[in-house]
Amino acid sequence: MAPKSRETFGSRMGMLLAMAGSAIGLGNIWRFPYTLGQNGGAAFLLLYVLMLVLICLPVMISEYLLGRRGGSNPFRTFDILAPGTKWRWIGFMAVLSSACILSFYCVVGGWSVKYLADACSGVLMSFDGDYSDLFGSFISNPWKPLFYTLVFLGITGLIIALGVRKGIERMSKLMIKVLFLIIVLVVIRSLTLPGAMEGVRYMFVPDFSKVTADTCIAAMGQAFFSLSIGCGCILTYASYVDKKENIAASSAWIAFFDTTFAIVAGLAIIPAVYAIALMNGVNPNVSAGPGLVFITLPGVFKAMPLGGVAALLFFLALLLAAITSAISLMEVVVAFIIEELRRSRVHAVVTCFLLCGGVGVFCSLSFGPLEGFKLFGLSVFDFFDYITSNIMLPAGGLLLAVFAGWRLKRANYLDELTNSGNLNIPRWLSLTIYYLLKLVAPLAISLIFINCILS
Ligand code: PFF
C-alpha cells in the first residue's frame, strides 16, 4: 500500500516553478542550441513549435491529468485508474525511462560541475591551447569525469532526500529565479557584441532544405525531452498537486516558459558564436554537436570583453538548470521505490544513486576507455541519449495519450480537466484538447516513427 498521507507542494508558485525547473535543463541550454544548429536553424524552430502545440502540449496535459487523478507513482497510478490490467507496465516503463535518462544526464551534469569549478578558479580563461583538446582530455580521462558525475548525482540525491517541500520545491524556487537572472545577463552580453545579429538571423530565418525525416524525429525528441514528458516526471509531480489547480493553464504556462527559455538560451549562445567567428574571420560553427557548450563557448568567452564573468555565470546557470531537472528524474524513481518497494526516502535515494551512478559510469567511460564499445553502432552514452529522447519518451507519450484518450472515460477526463465543473473552461477548448490527445497526438507520433523507419 502507498503511504496514507503523501507530501504535496506548498504553493501554486512552488509547484509551477518545480515543474518549470524540471522542464528547463540541459535540454534547453546544452541540447537545444546544437540540435538547432545541426537541423537548419529556424526551420527546426518552426517544426519544434508545431510539434509542441499539436503533440506535446496534449500529451503533457494527459500526463498531468493522470498524475493528479491517480495521486501516486507512475506504476500505481495506472493500477488505480485501470485496476488489474497490463497498463501498469506503461508506468513501469516510465520509471525505467527516467532512470535511463538520469544515467547519462548526470554525466553532462558532472561536466558542468567541472567547468564551473574551472571558471571559478580562472583555469578556464587562462587556458592557452585548443579548447577541444581541453574538453577531449577531460572526458576521456578514466577517473576525473566519474568523480564529477558522482558529485552531481550526490547533490541531486541530497536535495531529494529532503523531501517534496523542503527539497524539491524550495530548491527549484530559488534556482529557477537565479537561473533566469543569469541567462538574461549573458544574453545582453552576447547580443551587444558586434556582428551578433548574424546569429540572430540564423536562428529566425528558416532554411527548409535541411528538413528531412530525421529533422522531424529530432524536433519531436527534443520537444519531449525538453518538456520532461513521456517518462512519468510530470505525472509524479502532478501527484503532489492540489486538486484545485487548473491543469490546462498550468501545462500551457510551463510549455511557454520552457520554450521561451530555450530560445533565450539560444540567443545567449548562437549570436556570440557568430560574433566571435566573424571577428576572427572564420566560419561560425554552431553545429558542433554536444561540444558546442564545452568547446566552442569557452573560446567565445575568452575572446570577448568581460568573458571571465560571462563564463562563470553561464556555467553556474548550466549547473542550476541541470540540478532542477535531475531532481525531477530522481523523484520518479524514488517515489516508485518508496511506494512499491516500501523503503524509506533515504534508502530509495541511495538505491537510485547506486543504480544510475552505476550505469552513468559506463556512459562516462564511453568517451574514454570504452570508446570502442558500441551498442547498435552507438557509444553507450549516445545509445542512452538516442533511445530515451527519440524512442522511449515519444513512445511513452503515445501510450499516455492513448490511455487518457481511449481508456479513461470522456466524462472522467472532462471532470478532471475542469476540476469537477468548478473551472470555467469553454467546452470547445476542453473538447479540442481531448481530440488532440485522443487522435492527433497518437497519429502524429506514429507517423513520425513510421516515416523515420521507412526513410
Ligand atoms: N527537460 C529536461 C531538460 O530539458 O534538460 C530533461 C528531462 C528532465 C527530461 C526530466 C525528461 C524528464 F523526465
Top pLDDT among 215 and 251 is at: 251
pLDDT in tens, 89-111: 999 999 999 999 999 999 999 99
Look at ligand 1, atom 9, and give the residue with the nearest C-alpha: 228
Q: Check pocket membership of 98 for ligand 1, CB cut-off 6 A.
A: yes
Distance 123 CA to ligand 1 centre (A): 30
What average pLDDT does the segment 152-162 reach?
Answer: 97
Residue nearest to ligand 1 atom 10, measured at CA: 228
pLDDT for residue 196: 93
> To test ligand 1's pocket by mutation, which of 101, 234, 390 has the most ligand atoms within 8 angstroms of CB?
101
Tell me the pLDDT tens digit for each residue of 438-452.
Answer: 999 999 999 888 877
pLDDT at 3: 47
Alpha-carbon span 184 to 190, nearest angstrom: 10
Q: How far apart are CA 28 and CA 264, in angstroms?
A: 9
The CB of 221 under 6 Å from ligand 1? The reply is: no
Q: In the beta sheet, which residues pair with residue 375?
A: 378
pLDDT of residue 455: 67
For the chain, the C-alpha Rg in angstroms (whole number) is 21
390 lines ligand 1 (CB under 6 A): no
Mean pLDDT of 334-362: 97
- The C-alpha atoms of residue 89 and residue 98 are separated, in whole angstroms, by 14
Q: Answer for the pair 197, 271: CB distance below 8 angstroms, yes or no.
A: yes
* Pocket lining: 101 vs ligand 1, CB cutoff 6 Å: yes
Closest atom of ligand 1 relative to the 32 alpha carbon: 4
Question: 163, 347 in Cβ contact below 8 A?
Answer: no
**235-275: per-residue pLDDT in tens?**
999 999 988 889 999 999 999 999 999 999 999 899 998 99
Per-position DSSP letters for 382-448, written without gaps between them: HHHHHIIIIIIHHHHHHHHHHIIIIIS-HHHHHHHHTTTTTS---HHHHHHHHHIIIIIHHHHHHHH
What integer pLDDT is reported at residue 2 of this predicted model?
45
Spatial neighbors of 246 by CB under 8 A, at least 6 apart, are 419, 423, 425
User: What are the tens digits of pLDDT across the range 275-300?
Assistant: 988 888 888 877 667 778 898 889 88
Please tell me the predicted confidence (pLDDT) of residue 288. Answer: 67
Q: pLDDT tens for residues 113-127?
A: 999 999 999 999 999
30 pLDDT exceeds 80? yes
Q: Does ligand 1 come within 6 angstroms of the Cβ of 403?
A: no
- Does the C-beta of 226 come closer than 6 Å to ligand 1? yes
Looking from the CA of residue 393, the nearest atom of ligand 1 is 11
Q: Which atom of ligand 1 is nearest to the CA of 231?
A: 13
Q: Give the model confidence (pLDDT) of 360-416 as tens digits.
A: 999 999 999 999 999 999 999 999 998 998 899 999 999 999 999 999 999 999 999
Residue 122 to residue 30: CA distance in whole angstroms: 22
Mean pLDDT of all residues in the chain?
91
Q: pLDDT band for 213, please (50, 70, 90 cuts).
A: confident
**pLDDT tens profile 294-320:** 988 898 899 888 899 999 999 999 999
Nearest ligand 1 atom to the CA of 234 is 13
Q: CA-to-CA distance for 366 and 348, rounded, in angstroms?
A: 27
Class of residue 405 by CB neighbours under 10 A (exposed 0-12, middle 13-18, buried 19+): buried
Task: For residue 245, give Cα distances in angstroms to 9, 17, 238, 248, 257.
Answer: 11, 14, 10, 9, 18
Is residue 62 over pLDDT 70?
A: yes
pLDDT for the residue 6: 79
Yes or no: say if 15 and 218 are a contact pair by the CB < 8 Å rule.
no
Asked if 452 and 213 touch (Cβ cutoff 8 Å), the reply is: yes
Using the predicted structure, report yes or no on whether residue 1 has a pLDDT greater than 50. no
The C-alpha cell that represents 200 in the structure block: 540572430
pLDDT of residue 203: 87
CB–CB of 152/361 below 8 Å?
no
Please indicate whether residue 233, judged by its CB atom, sits closer than 6 Å to ligand 1: yes
Mean pLDDT along residues 131-158: 95
Q: Measured between alpha carbons, how far is residue 273 from residues 132, 288, 303, 435 in Å?
A: 15, 11, 10, 42
In the reported structure, the alpha carbon of residue 326 is separated from the centroid of ligand 1 by a whole-number distance in angstroms of: 7
Per DSSP, 375 falls in state B
Q: How far apart are CA 157 and CA 139, in angstroms?
A: 23
H helices present in 213-306, as ranges: 213-227, 233-238, 247-280, 297-303
